[in-house]
A and B are shown apart, each in its own frame.
Chain A
Amino acid sequence: MKINDVILHAVTKIVVFIIFTMAVYLFLSGHHNPGGGFVGGLVLASAFVLLFLAFDMETVRHAIPFDFKYVAALGAFIAVASGVGSVFFDAPILSMTHGYFVLPIFGETELATVTLFELGVALAVVGVVVTIILSIGEDI
């Protein structure tokens, strides 16, 4: 039985981008406002999950051709590496630092190394959540 979900498809195509934007916003705002790597990653994952629900797996896999297992591994690697990296600057492990820079478009911006760490967290969350849902979903 082939279901024709025109409305779901059409809505998903738009909503997914809103969720993506939301996820990026949440990820970046986490330093001072509600948000952060974990939530950002989860929202991102829910966007992917919505895609998988609305379209079938083959289509989505064709559109997003990367392997989420590697995303999870990359995330864990970034988190650990950004923690261990501080050793190379003669600081104890997991030391974080931040500074204020004047960037062309954004004006004065705060850049913090903790963002790297959070990026690792976010990627690990996305990767693991999607991997689990996909592997259970594909097993039918």
Chain B
Amino acid sequence: MTVNFAILIPFLAAAIIPFLDKRLGRVHIGWFALLIPLGLFIYLASFIPNIAAGETIIHTLEWIPSYDIHFTAYVDGLSLILGLLITGVGALVSLYSIYYLSPEESLKHFYLYLLLFMGAMLGVVFSDNIMVLYVFWELTSISSFLLIAFWYHRKRSREGAQKSLLITISGGFAMLVGFIMLYAMTGSFSIREIISVISEHTDHPLFLPAMLLILLGAFTKSAQFPFHIWLPDAMEAPTPVSAYLHSATMVKAGIYLVARFTPVFGGEALWFWLVTGVGLFTLFWAAFHAVKQVDLKAMLAYSTVSQLGMIMAMFGIGSAALHFGYSTESVVYTQATFAALFHLVNHSTFKGALFMVIGIVDHEVGTRDVRRLGGLVSFMPITFTIAMIGSFSMAGLPPFNGFLSKEMFFTAALNISELSIYSLDTWGAVIPVVAWVASVFTFLYSMMIVFKTFFGPYQEEKLERPAHEPPKGMLIAPVMLGLTVVGLFFFPNLLGDNLLRPAMAGIFPSFPEAELGVEIYAWHGFNTELFMTFGIVVVGLLLYVTLKYWRGVYVLFPERWSFNALYSYALHQMEIRSRTATKSYMTGVLRDYLVYIYFFFILLIGGALVYTGAINFSITENAPITPYEWIIAGVMFIAAISILFAKSRLTAILLNGVLGYSIAVFFVLFRAPDLALTQVVIETVTTVLFLVSYHFLPEWEREHDRKRRKGLHLLISAAVGTIFATIALAVHNGKLFESISHFYENSYELAGGRNIVNSILGDFRALDTMLEVVVLLIAGVGVYTFIKLKLGKGDQRLEDQ
């Protein structure tokens, strides 16, 4: 088994789920889904010794060799960290969801989407080929869309899903353009090869655009300011999904991308300032706004955005080390990247636990509104303990892992502010200040999550159900995450030595691995970082107590001027404008559409004929026309003219059939039995189709158009006929390139078939045929849904509940 197949396994399992769901009967389908991430986690964990020893693992499957696109799975420290998070948190979320979702929900859809996401996400982190990475990247967006809209009967779910899809897919598209630019510069789709040759191309005019476009992809995916607006709306998804996709894994894809491309673009001032600046501002802005939320899940959503910004900023700060190249002094700046990787893991653990706890509260008492909650500590002691561990870790307090990474963040911010490159000597001081202020707000909302929910007065009359502990199975997953949070505080170097250090080697390839990475200590003595933490606690507590006096600050930002309003306005305007534009030419009259099509045809093809001077042709070399051909042509001519004067639609249909069958006879005369056969059958089926839909067609009546309009139609049809005939005659004339038909002559040796036509269809150009089959299926499904699912008279739209 190779890693490539590990990526494909979730997809295969997703394909089985719908069939398994019926067989399992009363057993929850989640138990089957749980096996997949669990097995993959164990499999991926078996790589840890190799990775810790500094090895990397590559498996390649050829996909489209002629375009240099291979399905290459590349396992190094960075991808393994993400891979373990995806499968590990995935297993816990699957377990949790078994208790969270009742069997009445459409479980097969839920687990199908979840496994689809898991496979796509594994594909993103393990792909070395950027084209393959892009495909998986968009797949994660699509599965996220499906999961957010899981309760699709709710309007808000659908809107949230649409918003996330629009924003992340646009970013992904920009990223694709960036990837193509990278290919244009370096001539390679492989990330490893790009990293090794990029230093020769940094002056290329496409270098900066490629960087900006790829960053756009990363920022939209990781919900960085101002694209963060989709994440709070994505919280309409079921809580296990929020815990998994929108905090622990998918939103880390953008961060992964930044880390992966740090060796490519890092060392540039623009990269440093964009990643650090956007990250820091997101950290502050989202932490500030998290405080005003009253929905616990919205609070967590903003806090996720803020923490993602913090990780992003650390990767930005760490990239400065690449500016200097390797030296004993510059190694110190790589510590920021190390802290970023560490916090990436920590955030997944404590935020996953917090989401699950909020889900439990919501599930048991029926509300997430902090104004209605309170005093739950005596009813839900275990839930409270996990909430406390998660929140205190997020706030950066010991003895939890968040304390360690937050201290390292401060160290990095203080170090970088003393540098003299990138005009840091003037602006550098801003970095630790913003970091500190944002951390105060982080502390504040972390405390609000714990104290507003679990302490204070218990108001049972405001809850939908009386509070009590959830079933034991529901607690397993958050308890395990909580234990990890504490465990990582006491044994951080286990993670640091085995995974983070190898990951650093991938991000800083020019640095010797032994110099990278740091020993993590909980106690550094009384230094600036520790005093910063003391300051956070003191100021944070002050703000918490005085919250009701300064809450008015938030009114200063009117809803009308937010990015959300901008997004809604743009979407609304787009709908209105495109409706007006479409209505202006979509008259509903078939004749008008034909006029558009043929007018364009005349303009484009006729214009091209005249422009290129391809009209001249000679018919002297053509084969003589036999009497049979004259007869058939005469029949077709008469039939075509007669259609114009037909009295009933039935006559017209039959005359049209005469045209079609005559063409089949022509094929026979020209010794093309394949085509003749196909033409005959197609003509038959088409005629039947005509007859079937006969009932729906309007009355056949003469058109009473004005003379001028009729003249225009005559002109258009005459022009189209002339152009077609001219092309048919002229096409023999110019041989612009050598014929490729000799390639197909030895089809028997190449494809084992003597029928050239079918060898082309089934072998030489099989990709076309395969996709045509899929297109045909989609067309069939389209016709079926249009007809079967349309609203009958008096039916109502059952959209919103």
Contacts and interface: CB of A to CB of B under 8 A. Distances in A.
- State whether these chains interact: yes
Contacts of A34: 673-674, 677, 755
A42 B682 contact: yes
Contact of A133 (B61, B64, B692, B758): B692
B781 A32 contact: no
A27 B773 CA distance: 16
Interface residues of B, number: 44
Contact of B674 (A39, A124, A129): A39
Contact of B773 (A26, A94, A124): A124
Main secondary structure of the interface of B (DSSP, over half): helix
Interface string A74-100: 011001100100010000111010100
Interface string A125-140: 1011101110111011
Contacts of B688: 46, 49, 53, 133
Interface in B765-786: 766-767, 769-770, 773-774, 776-777, 779-781, 783-784
Number of chain A interface residues as a range: 35 or more
Contacts of B660: none
Interface string A96-110: 101000000000001
Interface string B726-770: 000000000000000000000000011111011001110011011
A117 B762 contact: yes
Nearest to B748: A32
B418 to A, nearest CB: 54
Nearest to B777: A76
Interface string A36-62: 111100110110010001000000000
B294 to A, nearest CB: 47
Main secondary structure of the interface of A (DSSP, over half): helix
B767 to A, nearest CB: 6
Contact of B677 (A32, A35, A79): A35
Given A34-B677, A94-B766, A140-B695, A131 B784 contact: yes
Contact of B784 (A38, A53, A69, A87): A69
Contacts of A32: 753-755
Contacts of B780: 69, 72, 127-128, 131-132
Nearest to B755: A32
B608 interface: no
A42 B678 contact: yes
A39 B696 CA distance: 29
B588 interface: no
Contacts of A93: 63-64, 767
A136 B692 contact: yes
B763 A96 contact: yes
Given A30-B755, A96-B763, A39 B681 contact: yes
A112 B753 contact: yes
Contacts of A24: none
A76 B787 contact: no
B132 to A, nearest CB: 13
B76 to A, nearest CB: 24
B797 interface: no
27 contacts: A34-B677, A35-B677, A36-B755, A37-B761, A39-B674, A45-B685, A49-B684, A49-B685, A76-B773, A79-B770, A79-B773, A80-B770, A92-B65, A93-B63, A94-B770, A96-B751, A96-B763, A110-B752, A112-B752, A117-B769, A117-B770, A124-B773, A124-B777, A128-B777, A131-B780, A131-B783, A133-B688
Interface of B: 61-65, 673-674, 677-678, 681-682, 684-685, 688-689, 692-693, 695-696, 751-755, 757-758, 761-763, 766-767, 769-770, 773-774, 776-777, 779-781, 783-784, 787-788
